[in-house]
C-alpha cells in the first residue's frame, strides 16, 4: 500500500508543476509502478 500513497503524492506534484508534461510523467509512473 505504501507505493500507492507514493504514487498519489506524485500525481499531486504533477498538478502543481504544470511545466512538466503530464503524459510523460504519468507514463514514467506506470513504468515504475505497473500494478496501478
Quick: pLDDT tens for 14-29.
Answer: 554 555 555 555 555 5
pLDDT, residue 17, reads 53
Measured CA to CA, the distance from residue 18 to residue 23 in angstroms comes to: 11
pLDDT, residue 36, reads 47
**CB-count burial class (<10 Å; 0-12, 13-18, 19+) for 25:** middle
- pLDDT of 6 above 60: yes
pLDDT, residue 13, reads 55
Question: For the chain, how many structural domains are there in total?
Answer: 1
Check if the beta carbon of residue 1 is closer than 8 Å to that of residue 31: no
- Domain range holding 9? 2-32
Read off the pTM: 0.19
Query: Residue 11: phi, psi to the nearest 5?
Result: -60, -40
pLDDT, residue 33, reads 54
Distance of alpha carbon 4 from the chain centroid: 10
pLDDT, residue 12, reads 60
Amino acid at each position: 500500500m505504501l507505493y500507492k500513497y507514493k504514487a498519489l503524492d506524485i500525481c499531486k506534484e504533477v498538478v502543481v508543476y504544470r511545466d512538466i508534461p503530464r503524459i510523460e510523467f504519468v507514463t514514467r509512473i506506470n513504468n515504475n509502478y505497473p500494478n496501478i
